Amino acid sequence: MGRLFGTDGVRGVANADLTAEMALGLSVAAAGVLAGPGGEPGRRPVAVVGRDPRASGEFLEAAVVAGLASAGVDVLRVGVLPTPAVAYLTGSLGADFGVMLSASHNPMPDNGVKFFARGGHKLADELEDRIEAAYWEHAAGRPWDRPVGAGVGRVTEYGEGFDRYVAHLVGVLPHRLDGLKVVVDAAHGAASRVAPEAFARAGAEIVTIGAEPDGLNINDGYGSTHLDALRAAVPAHGADLGIAVDGDADRCLAVDGTGADIDGDQILAVLGVAMREAGTLRHDTVVATVMSNLGLTLAMQREGLRLRQTAVGDRYVLEEMKRGGYSLGGEQSGHVIVLDHATTGDGTLTGLMLAARVAATRRPLAELALVMDRLPQVLINVRDVDKARVADCRELAEAVIEAERQLGDTGRVLLRPSGTEPLVRVMVEAADAAQARAVASGLADVVKSALG
């Protein structure tokens, strides 16, 4: 019995690793854990269920809905919407929990099941452990409580979720986008309708790419993991900036008017300064992960802001934000959390707020992004190795010590197993790009030989 939950729900190749039977079992287990005390007395628990447009999401959604209803949970089925929309609707509709079917930025054959607790919050480790334990108990033959007659859950199509979520996004913007031209890349994913509509309602002139999902093309050549199309489209259309979300739209990366990338660290820097000026950056602190570029640390110091760093994963960023009462945090990958308006990373909201900063200052995004200088950073993903042995491999530990000695105070090394994919990530920063490449390549070779 391996661990089911990774850093962001349960993921795997749909119909191979993640089957309909597993999805049904997980939903039943989650119902027993998440639909407990705390809801309104005398009514059945309610769950919001959404998905991204992957073909496999159709049968997995059916399995989840069947499991929930069979466990006595009423289901509000919101259809294809972003992950942060499901989180928002879970909270705003007063549901007991939410379920999202998505593998985010992963390729189309993958899919995943992600749960949100009451209020639209990501699950604590303890809740995931309880769901997993219940799942394995049911799989081993222990029956669950099966209501009959009027006790079974009812399933309702909730079509109002789209407008409710878009209205929320536009309503929290600090400045309208009138006069801006924005290219929106929706990754052929869950935000293919939401993101263009939100930018249009906020006043922007929009050009839309990557917004024709067919169930098979999610993240394929478009979105935050494939920026080439956006880099070309922004200058070609004379746009002020471009925004790219990933398949489930919990991430956002950007492109300035020249076609240059603006990554999650730069977005955090720009929004951190903007929120500080507006008085909404609580404790003058930004939360980021250890994967953030050293340039972000230096930028925050120059701006008189504090930077708190966490383990990799937006869930750990969120935990630190809640613990310290902070309002802005995120990852270099584009997971940005604005806690006053969202309970999780929201790519569309992030893009809107970045565009709002451009509109409010009347300064190009390229100029705003100069608040931070990115140090050369090389990331190598080493596949086909035993990532579970990273922490205990002496040869690897000695190689990291030697790499850090070579870099001195001008760079750093980070080596970690991916929480969502079967690989080990080698990240090296240095003042010189050639040195960063050389050190990263050498470490990657050691990872292959030691863990292969």
Q: Which of 181, 229, 186 is nearest to 202 (CA)?
A: 181
E strand residue ranges, 303-407: 306-310, 328-330, 336-338, 377-383
3 belongs to a structural domain: no
**DSSP type of residue 374:** P
Please tell me which residue in 102, 104, 192, 292 is annotated as part of the active site: 104
E strand residue ranges, 104-251: 110-117, 121-122, 155-157, 181-185, 205-209, 241-245
Write the CB contacts of 134 (distance below 8 Å, at least 6 apart in sequence).
28, 29, 32, 33
Residue 1: predicted pLDDT: 58
Residue that the structure tokens 């098979």 belong to: 216
Chain mean position to CA 326 = 18
Residue that the structure tokens 């993921």 belong to: 11
CATH of the domain at 272: 3.40.120.10
Same-domain pairing of 235 and 352: yes
Residue 164's CB is within 10 A of a number of other CB atoms, namely: 16
For residue 234, give the 3-state DSSP assignment: helix
Phi and psi angles of residue 141, each rounded to the nearest 5 degrees, phi first: 115, -5
Residue 2's CB is within 10 A of a number of other CB atoms, namely: 3
Q: Which of 330, 349, 371 is the last residue of a domain?
A: 371
> Cα separations (Å) of 155 from 7, 48, 86?
29, 10, 16
Same-domain pairing of 197 and 285: yes
Q: Which of 322, 274, 275, 267 is nearest to 293 (CA)?
A: 267
Same-domain pairing of 382 and 281: no
Average pLDDT over residues 412-432: 86
187 belongs to a structural domain: yes
Same-domain pairing of 132 and 243: no
CATH of the domain at 418: 3.30.310.50
Chain mean position to CA 393 = 30
Is the torsion defined by CA of 436, 438, 443, 447 positive or negative? Answer: positive
Cβ distance 337 to 251 under 8 Å? no
Residue 83: predicted pLDDT: 98
For residue 384, is pLDDT > 90? no
Does the annotation list 104 as a binding residue? yes
Same-domain pairing of 169 and 314: yes
Residue 150: predicted pLDDT: 93
Cα 95 from Cα 1, distance rounded (Å) = 31
Same-domain pairing of 199 and 336: yes
Write the CB contacts of 28 (distance below 8 Å, at least 6 apart in sequence).
67, 68, 70, 71, 134, 135, 138, 144
In tens, the pLDDT along 119-139 reads: 999 998 899 999 999 999 998
How many domains is the chain built from?
3
Question: How would residue 225 be classed by pLDDT, with cut points 50, 70 and 90?
Answer: very high
270 belongs to a structural domain: yes
Question: How would residue 157 be classed by pLDDT, with cut points 50, 70 and 90?
Answer: very high
The amino acid sitting at 355 is: A
Does the annotation list 129 as a binding residue? no
β-bridge pairing 181-185 and 155-157: unpaired
Residue 264: predicted pLDDT: 97
E strand residue ranges, 41-128: 46-51, 74-80, 97-101, 110-117, 121-122
Which range, of 38-42, 103-107, 178-182, averages the lowest pLDDT?
Answer: 38-42
Residue 147's CB is within 10 A of a number of other CB atoms, namely: 14
Count of residues making up the chain? 452
Same-domain pairing of 239 and 202: yes
The verdict on whether 104 is a catalytic residue reads yes
- The whole-chain average pLDDT of the chain stands at 94
Same-domain pairing of 77 and 149: yes
In tens, the pLDDT along 314-354 reads: 889 999 999 999 999 999 999 999 999 999 999 999 999 99
Same-domain pairing of 304 and 178: yes
In tens, the pLDDT along 56-66 reads: 999 999 999 99
Cα 145 from Cα 347, distance rounded (Å) = 39
Cα 60 from Cα 370, distance rounded (Å) = 44
> DSSP labels for 154-180?
-EEE-TTHHHHHHHHHHHT-SS--TT-
Same-domain pairing of 307 and 226: yes
Same-domain pairing of 447 and 425: yes
Cα 78 from Cα 46, distance rounded (Å) = 13
> Cα separations (Å) of 359 from 8, 93, 153, 248?
34, 32, 47, 26
Domain enclosing residue 106, as ranges: 10-159
Does the annotation list 250 as a binding residue? yes
Cβ distance 286 to 307 under 8 Å? yes
49 belongs to a structural domain: yes
5 belongs to a structural domain: no
In tens, the pLDDT along 24-50 reads: 999 999 999 998 655 556 689 999 999
**DSSP type of residue 18:** B
Cα 196 from Cα 191, distance rounded (Å) = 8
Residue 417: predicted pLDDT: 87
Average pLDDT over residues 238-245: 98
Write the CB contacts of 327 (distance below 8 Å, at least 6 apart in sequence).
275, 280, 281, 282, 321, 338, 339, 340
pTM for the whole structure: 0.89
2 belongs to a structural domain: no
Question: How would residue 240 be classed by pLDDT, with cut points 50, 70 and 90?
Answer: very high
Q: Which of 138, 159, 180 is the last residue of a domain?
A: 159
183 belongs to a structural domain: yes
For residue 3, is pLDDT > 90? no
Does the annotation list 246 as a binding residue? yes
Cβ distance 51 to 100 under 8 Å? yes
Q: Which of 7, 5, 33 is nearest to 18 (CA)?
A: 5
Q: Which of 371, 389, 418 is the last residue of a domain?
A: 371
Cβ distance 264 to 332 under 8 Å? yes
Residue 41: predicted pLDDT: 61
Same-domain pairing of 206 and 326: yes
Which range, of 93-102, 159-168, 314-323, 354-363, averages the lowest pLDDT?
Answer: 314-323
For residue 67, is pLDDT > 60? yes
1 belongs to a structural domain: no
Which range, of 11-25, 153-167, 211-225, 387-401, averages the lowest pLDDT?
Answer: 387-401
Cβ distance 436 to 430 under 8 Å? yes
